[in-house]
Amino acid sequence: MENMFKNPENFVKEFEKRAITKYGVDYKRCHITELYDVLGTMVRDACAEDWKLSKDYVTDHKEKQLVYFSMEFLIGRLLVNNMQNLGIYQVAKEGLAKLGIDIHELENQESDAGLGNGGLGRLAACFLDSIASLGYPGHGNCIRYEYGFFKQKIVDGKQVEVPDQWLQNTNVWEIKKPKHAVEVKFYGNAETYQDTDGCIRSRTVNAMHVKAVPYDVPVIGYKNKVVNTLRLWSAEPSEENLPQNQSFSDYLSAIKELCHGLYPDDSTEHGRILRLRQQYFLVSAGLQSMIRGHKRRFGTLNNMCEKFVFQLNDTHPILAIPEIMRLLMDENGFGWDEAWYQVTHMMAYTNHTIMAEALEKWPVSYVSNLLPRVYMIIEEINRRTILDLRAKGYDDQFINNVKIIKDGMIHMTNLAIHTVFSVNGVAKLHTDICCRDTFKDFYHLYPEKFNNKTNGITHRRWFLNANPELADLVTSKIGDGWIRNPDELVKFLEFKNDKKVLDRINEIKADNKVKLATYIKVHNNIDVDVNSIFDVQVKRLHAYKRQLMNIFRIMYFYKKMKNDASFRITPHTYIFGAKAAPSYYLAKKIIQLINAVATQVNNDPEISKFMKVVFIENYGVSSAEIIIPAADVSEQISTAGKEASGTSNMKFMINGAITLGTLDGANVEIDQLVGSENDQIFGLKTEEIEELRRNGSYSPWDVYHHDNDIKMIMDSLIDGTWHDNRDEFRPIFDEIMYRNDEYFTLKDLNSYIEASLALDKKYADKEAWAKSCLVNIAKAGYFSSDRTIQQYVDDIWKLEKIVIKE
């Protein structure tokens, strides 16, 4: 088996043999899903020896390890990525060809893993790739969601959510490990008792027990023999602690919904409590597993903070803090001070938002009922924090600002910042706002904890694998060193005046646009002009990301061309892709509006020659890998000061798209790197928006009454232009006009339209456009997650590399 990928002949023998042993028939009689399964298990088995050696190295050398807790890991498909990282893709492709099998057909059998939704999960997936590729011991922990977030269907222009049955044909990459299961306790009550040493201790009794079973997925580094683990936790009934006060069927239902799907509907109390249960299930299972393994290796937990670091990705895993305190004290005999030392030296927190309403808070009643002992610990952390601050002379107002428990709510971010040794933002602007505004009192208390780690993407997946023609061009000019060291991409700048290179960039973009146009024809039945500007906004739908401003711009251009025969725009294909949270009414209305505008525009014989509007259904990683390499314009138009970082901006950048955006999130750093001549920045700056909010001088009605074009756009929402029912889009009108245009959509709209037209003029000079594309590609090395991870390692995690000899 170790030589099955040595050459195509060995591959063929092994493939034929496995088809027979697994399915009992010759490979020629296997269904295509079975052929995919055979290939996938071969690839997984090909990394098994390295997986073992990586674990052995960490154990033998007593290395410190990272555990990355995240509710999402948007890993997409793994087949191509894993084969490329193992260096076996070409052998498999040639071997399959000898059997008359097209490898691309097998690739398309793989489902996107239903383990995430947006940028948070994709970032976590990129991080795992970079951690392994840089050779560091770091592992992910997540829930094995049976039905993912949801599968989006567009029916009559509206989003409809159906279950994402991604596990229907099993997950070829996972290995179930029932012997590594742990038990997670919910409800019950905390009681005190005297241990054998005479110490008074606490324990949880009368709890509902749930067995957490791990499924391990290999995370394969790029051609370095390092394999880490993404551990997915699944809930099953306890074997020894079945509930006495609940029927087994009700118990099963409660267990099944734990791993049913990502982000249960939080518009109901049941959904909110289910979210809390999920968060605790994840961190308790992961921490129990780590503690058990550490005790087995070292025989003590006194050095745990020297051998583990836990990164909490956003607020969802913050319950890890009181839970590890509980595990150390209640189950391992630690005193408070000893446990607190360990916890405060091995927990780190990444903040992903500066919007106060998005900072997670839980009602005391939820936590105290669901997790009584955990609540007692949170209460004690809060009590000790208040006493400490009073002893340091802080007044009651300051203490109230930073308290963990107030007004009947537990403020999870406050709990994290008081406890962890590191708090990082994810872009320079974001971190600056955190320090001076969102967490200014905490920054005053703990300035040494705060640091910035600008996000990144794995360039191997999003450039090397997703855009092979362009990657080959870069390699042909500067060598392949950039694959391991993305900083070397800057060498490509030497060719910015090379006409042959610039022409080739344009040719590759044209090829990629043909592929996307084919995809759109198949999935949307829309014919798009491949010579038009592909103007793309693909990301989670939220008001602050301003997909609404984008469609307002399109509505303006449509109306302008209908009313003025002398006005015509450069032909555009406007491409959207976004999921709205099931209970987010406004976001779902915006999707409906986009599709209503698309229907009218695309069926207008006069205007459709100049614009088409396309909404990509069920946008995800696999569709992104087709869309992003084909984009000419990258829409990054969030309200300044609202986007923590963004990562789609980086994916578009490395694939040679030009950023049309505000100075928000990582756009600020993109603009600094490429220069204003190689992007198009518009709109209010963060400080200008802050000033408008402070003085209350902005009113959308002022804009409406003084700008006829904007009045025309807004009125079209309620005059029957886009729907026979004039009230269909009134909620959008009311959101902007009667809720004071919270995200300054109308205020920035004219600047946005002007910037769009300016970019059209740039596009007219194809050579100059290609030069800007090249500059973006060459400068994108900074935004590799390899750089981000190395900064985490140097400043926070303090890991050493795994070295496995050939």
3-state secondary structure 732-786: HHHHHHHCCCCCCHHHHHHHHHHHHHHHHHHHHCHHHHHHHHHHHHHHHHHHEHH
Residue 1, pLDDT score: 47
Rounded Cα–Cα distance for residues 650 and 659 (Å): 9
**Per annotation, catalytic residue among 373, 459, 504, 545:** 545
Residue 638 has pLDDT above 50, yes or no: yes
Residue 503, pLDDT score: 98
Selection from 374, 450, 373 nearest residue 417 by Cα: 450
Mean pLDDT of 707-735: 98
Mean pLDDT of the chain: 97
CB 462 within 8 A of CB 651: yes
Selection from 488, 494, 785 nearest residue 651 by Cα: 785
Rounded Cα–Cα distance for residues 212 and 168 (Å): 21
Q: Are strands 572-577 and 533-538 parallel, antiparallel or unpaired?
A: parallel
The alpha carbon torsion through 629, 647, 743, 579 (nearest 10 deg) reads 70
**Per annotation, catalytic residue among 461, 539, 589, 612:** 539
The SS3 call for residue 530 is coil
Amino acid identity of residue 314, one-letter, is: D
Per this entry, what is the length of the chain? 806
Confidence tier at 195 by pLDDT (50, 70, 90):
confident
Please say if 33 is a catalytic residue: no
CA angle 513, 515, 520 (to 5 degrees): 90
pLDDT above 90 covers what percent of the chain? 96
Please say if 540 is a catalytic residue: yes
Residue 293 has pLDDT above 70, yes or no: yes
Q: Compute how many other C-beta atoms are within 10 angstroms of the C-beta atom of residue 100.
A: 8
Locate all alpha helices (DSSP H) within 99-118, ordered by sequence.
103-107
In this prediction the pTM is 0.97
Please say if 170 is a catalytic residue: no
**Per annotation, catalytic residue among 185, 509, 546, 651:** 651
Q: Which two tokens mark 508? A: 């590759």
Please say if 352 is a catalytic residue: yes
Residue 220, pLDDT score: 98
β-pair partners for 450: 423
β strands within 127-281, DSSP E:
138-143, 151-155, 158-162, 175-176, 182-186, 189-194, 200-205, 208-220, 227-237
Residue 578, pLDDT score: 98
**How far is CA 133 from its chain centroid?**
19
Q: Residue 420 region, left (φ>0) first, then alpha (ψ -120 to 50), else beta?
A: beta
Rounded Cα–Cα distance for residues 505 and 655 (Å): 10
- DSSP code at position 137: -
pLDDT tens track for 162-190: 999 999 999 999 999 999 999 999 999 99
Q: Which two tokens mark 778? A: 């060459």
Selection from 777, 775, 780 nearest residue 496 by Cα: 775
Confidence tier at 731 by pLDDT (50, 70, 90):
very high
Residue 651 has pLDDT above 50, yes or no: yes
Residue 479, pLDDT score: 98
Mean pLDDT of 329-344: 97
pLDDT tens track for 748-804: 999 999 999 999 999 999 999 999 999 999 999 999 999 999 999 999 999 999 999
Q: Compute how many other C-beta atoms are within 10 angstroms of the C-beta atom of residue 386.
A: 18
Q: Which two tokens mark 5? A: 């990928």
Q: Which two tokens mark 551? A: 């469609």
Mean pLDDT of 380-405: 98
Rounded Cα–Cα distance for residues 287 and 284 (Å): 5
**Per annotation, catalytic residue among 647, 659, 662, 745:** 647
Please say if 272 is a catalytic residue: no
Selection from 534, 536, 484 nearest residue 506 by Cα: 534
Q: Are strands 200-205 and 189-194 parallel, antiparallel or unpaired?
A: antiparallel
Which of the two residues, 240 and 294, has the higher pLDDT score?
Answer: 294
Mean pLDDT of 215-222: 98
CB 429 within 8 A of CB 668: yes
pLDDT tens track for 550-579: 999 999 999 999 999 999 999 999 999 999
Residue 215 has pLDDT above 60, yes or no: yes
Residue 2 has pLDDT above 80, yes or no: no
Mean pLDDT of 666-684: 98
Selection from 308, 4, 282 nearest residue 144 by Cα: 282
Residue 115 has pLDDT above 90, yes or no: yes
Please say if 436 is a catalytic residue: no
Q: Which residue has the tokens 């995800």?
A: 620
**Per annotation, catalytic residue among 176, 352, 428, 515:** 352
Residue 199 has pLDDT above 90, yes or no: no
Rounded Cα–Cα distance for residues 33 and 45 (Å): 18
The alpha carbon torsion through 207, 209, 212, 213 (nearest 10 deg) reads 160
Selection from 363, 386, 352 nearest residue 645 by Cα: 352
**Per annotation, catalytic residue among 139, 513, 540, 579:** 540
Q: Which two tokens mark 61? A: 């050398």
Instruction: Show contacts of 384-393: CB within 8 Å, 24+ apart.
Output: 385/418, 389/445
